[in-house]
């Protein structure tokens, strides 16, 4: 024993304050979500609680999934450059986008078949967005009508995303419904002349709604809550059609119009008198053409890596777009954002706004609306902390000087990280 330490028996008066026993509690959604400190934690919970088909639909991307991995790697392979000794007691994330003010520079991207991920579906996401003061965008492939979403979140900012179908009249009927429901911003997605090759969905035989097969029933055994919700809530239906009996890929190829051109974009602009955002821009040239066609904003997006594999990475493209685009066109961005500082990096490099998709869907699968709110709380906390560490008090203070893209993403290229 050490000669430098004097030993004694502990006294109860000294020991009792250290004993912090708490009675065991039954598992609950609140307790489960409180343990999630990151979006990756929510993903782990979501994977445990969601059948393989719906989870892989959310988690996966096209072909080798290289595009998605590169997009995520882009945010990891950058360097923040903070300023020190600045009063950052009061930090604001508020921003103004397309003439509206939001509490954070981040919105909820449109995602298809959301009630397949969790029975609370689009309504839960819209209500969470309303609570946090950010916009929610309903997808053409959503499983809740625009009217029901607006009723669920009447004080929120609800936008609508349009896929131009082969049936143009049916497409514009959706647009008219959105307009009547009070939608002020139409997001036109333009990177889907055909569905990407999403091999996870093909291997899983994913249908909408999921089919009851021997494989899915076996998969359901450790996930009884999801299946109970699925079987005891109204059948999954679509914004855009009553039903579909095939696979997801077959549905997308049936709906998408491969003949759409910039002339159609001009026509849509003439039909829609609200704000028009073009989603799926992947080159400087197309950004300029979209501006010429009357777009109010563009979203640099490779569809979350779900369309063309090895497509451009939005964060990298952003730098070129800001150099070349000389207009009042707002530049938004999505794909790969899983941390609050990812948002800060995009804003610093010139983005006016960002969108999350998988990040909030992981939360939804982990715990319905409460899970989405947990995801937004995590991202908000990370943004506020990141701004304080960078030495900025407002979103407008973020500049390119705060971020440096490391050489691997300055044109040298790099292989993606492994799964």
Catalytically active residues are 303
What DSSP line would sit under 348-380, residue for residue?
A: HTT-SEEEESHHHHHHHHHHHHHHHHHHHHHHH
Contact 181, 153 (CB under 8 A): no
* Separation of alpha carbons 342 and 272, rounded Å: 33
Contact 379, 134 (CB under 8 A): no
* Separation of alpha carbons 261 and 256, rounded Å: 13
- Reduce the DSSP state of residue 132 to 3 states and report it: helix
For 102, residues 6+ apart whose C-beta sits below 8 A from its C-beta are 94, 95, 96, 133, 134, 135, 157
* Separation of alpha carbons 42 and 361, rounded Å: 9
Q: What are the strands, taking DSSP E only, across 122-256?
A: 136-138, 158-163, 185-189
* Separation of alpha carbons 251 and 232, rounded Å: 25
Q: Based on the number of CB atoms within 10 Å of its own CB, is 98 exposed (0-12), middle (13-18) or buried (19 or more)?
A: buried
* Separation of alpha carbons 259 and 310, rounded Å: 23
């Amino acid at each position: 024993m050490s000669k430098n330490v004097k030993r004694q028996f502990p006294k109860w008066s000294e020991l009792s304050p250290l004993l912090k026993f708490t009675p065991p509690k039954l598992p609950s959604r609140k307790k489960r979500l409180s343990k999630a400190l990151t979006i990756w934690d929510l993903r782990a919970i979501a994977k445990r609680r969601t059948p393989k088909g719906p989870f892989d639909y959310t988690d996966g991307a096209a072909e080798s999934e290289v595009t998605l991995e590169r997009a995520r790697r882009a945010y990891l392979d950058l360097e923040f450059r903070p300023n020190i000794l600045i009063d950052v007691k009061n930090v604001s994330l508020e921003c103004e986008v397309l003439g509206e003010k939001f509490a954070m520079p981040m919105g909820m991207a449109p995602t298809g078949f959301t009630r397949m991920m969790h029975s609370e579906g689009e309504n839960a996401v819209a209500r969470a967005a309303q609570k946090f003061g950010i916009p929610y965008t309903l997808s053409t492939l959503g499983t809740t009508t625009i009217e029901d979403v607006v009723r669920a979140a009447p004080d929120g900012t609800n936008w609508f995303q349009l896929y131009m179908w082969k049936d143009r009249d049916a497409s514009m009927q959706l647009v008219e419904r959105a307009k009547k429901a009070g939608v002020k911003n139409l997001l036109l997605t333009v990177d889907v002349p055909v569905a990407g090759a999403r091999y996870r969905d093909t291997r899983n035989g994913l249908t909408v709604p999921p089919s009851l097969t021997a494989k899915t029933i076996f998969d359901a055994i450790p996930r009884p809550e999801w299946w109970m919700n699925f079987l005891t809530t109204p059948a999954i239906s679509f914004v855009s059609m009553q039903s579909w009996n095939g696979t997801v890929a077959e549905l997308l190829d049936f709906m998408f119009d491969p003949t759409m051109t910039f002339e159609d974009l001009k026509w849509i602009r003439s039909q829609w008198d609200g704000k028009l955002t073009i989603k799926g821009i992947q080159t400087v040239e197309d950004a300029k053409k979209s501006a010429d066609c009357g777009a109010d904003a563009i979203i640099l997006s490779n569809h979350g890596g779900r369309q063309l594999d090895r497509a451009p990475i939005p964060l990298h493209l952003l730098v070129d777009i800001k150099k070349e685009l000389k207009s009042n066109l707002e530049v938004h961005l999505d794909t790969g954002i899983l941390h609050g500082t990812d948002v800060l990096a995009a804003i610093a490099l010139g983005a006016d706004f960002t969108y999350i998709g998988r990040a909030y869907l992981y939360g939804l699968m982990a715990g319905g609306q409460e899970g989405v709110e947990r995801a937004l709380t995590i991202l908000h906390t990370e943004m506020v902390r990141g701004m304080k560490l960078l030495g900025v008090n407002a979103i407008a203070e973020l500049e390119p000087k705060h971020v440096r893209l490391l050489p691997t993403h300055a044109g040298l290229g790099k292989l993606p990280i492994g799964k």
